[in-house]
Amino acid sequence: MFNWISPDIIALLTDPVVYQALLRGLGVTLEIAVITIGLSFVFGVLLGIFRFSKVPVFSQIATAYIEFIRNIPLLLLMLTCYFVAGLPSAAAAILGLSMYTSAIIAEVVRGGLNSIPTGQWEAARSQGFNYVQIMRHVVLPQAVVKMIPPIVSQFVTVIKDSSFAMAIGAFELMYEGTILAGQYWKATQIITIYVLIALTYFVINFLLSHLSRKLQTKLSAGRGTIGQ
């Protein structure tokens, strides 16, 4: 069809500049992802507890937030943080991603909280624990264990979704790669660069998905063996 293993491609594949650019981009992608997961975990747990709570105003506000965010595109949130809020591109990417991801983590948290039988609430209450104490000492420690696998797999989603940040010019992997591709003019070279970017994402995400599945089986097999 066309000669793929041409000198052009070999020159590209042996050029350290290519790998430097990809690694630089990967670093920023991971930075964005780690900060996003951290922020989203804190905010998601709060939102999840609000939604789970029996206080009407709290649960309604949390529900409205979660439902709205989950039904609009992530790209819109990033663009809003960048153009309307006027944040720098990396910060806008992190804030947009965190707003989005915390709504998803909130649902994970609610699922985790719902999985703890009501009998435990009653037992703890009969022992004189108040709501906050029950959450803190009885329910959350168990629920968090159940939340770990879905949160790890959410990490994969965040890494993938962070590529949308190229639309607002954050120098993550996708954008660095696209700039790199722009320096070449042959279609086969450009495609080779995109394949390299795809492989980079794939390796990281494949390992993380694998970890998530491992944790899932491990945590569902030996109940309460981790984090206790």
Q: Side chain identity at 69, as an amino acid letter? A: I
> Among residues 67, 123, 179, 224, which is the contact residue for another protein, using CB under 8 A?
67
Helix axes 16-52, 89-114, angle to 10 degrees: 40
> Among residues 3, 5, 55, 71, which is the contact residue for another protein, using CB under 8 A?
71
Of 176, 156, 157, 158, which is closest to residue 166 (Cα–Cα)? 176
> Among residues 28, 201, 212, 219, which is the contact residue for another protein, using CB under 8 A?
201
Q: Side chain identity at 163, as an amino acid letter? A: S
> Among residues 17, 23, 73, 137, which is the contact residue for another protein, using CB under 8 A?
73
Burial of 111 (0-12, 13-18, 19+ CB in 10 A): middle
Which DSSP state fits 224? T
216 lines the binding site for another protein (CB under 8 A)? no
In the complex, minimum distance from the CB of residue 70 to another protein, in angstroms, rounded to a whole number: 7
Query: What's the token pair of residue 219?
Result: 């945590």
In the complex, minimum distance from the CB of residue 20 to another protein, in angstroms, rounded to a whole number: 19
68 lines the binding site for another protein (CB under 8 A)? yes
89 lines the binding site for another protein (CB under 8 A)? no
Determine the Cα–Cα distance for residues 15 and 12; give it in Å rounded to an integer: 5
185 lines the binding site for another protein (CB under 8 A)? no
In the complex, minimum distance from the CB of residue 77 to another protein, in angstroms, rounded to a whole number: 9
Which DSSP state fits 168? G
> Among residues 166, 170, 180, 219, which is the contact residue for another protein, using CB under 8 A?
166
Segment contacting another protein (CB under 8 A): 9-17, 125-133, 205-213, 215-223?
Answer: 205-213
Residues 6 or more apart whose CB falls under 8 angstroms from that of 223 comprise none
Is residue 204 within 8 A of residue 23, CB to CB? The reply is: no
* Residues forming the site for another protein (CB under 8 A): 2, 67-68, 70-76, 79-80, 83-84, 156, 159-161, 163-164, 166-167, 174, 178, 187-188, 190-191, 194-195, 197-198, 201-202, 205-206, 209
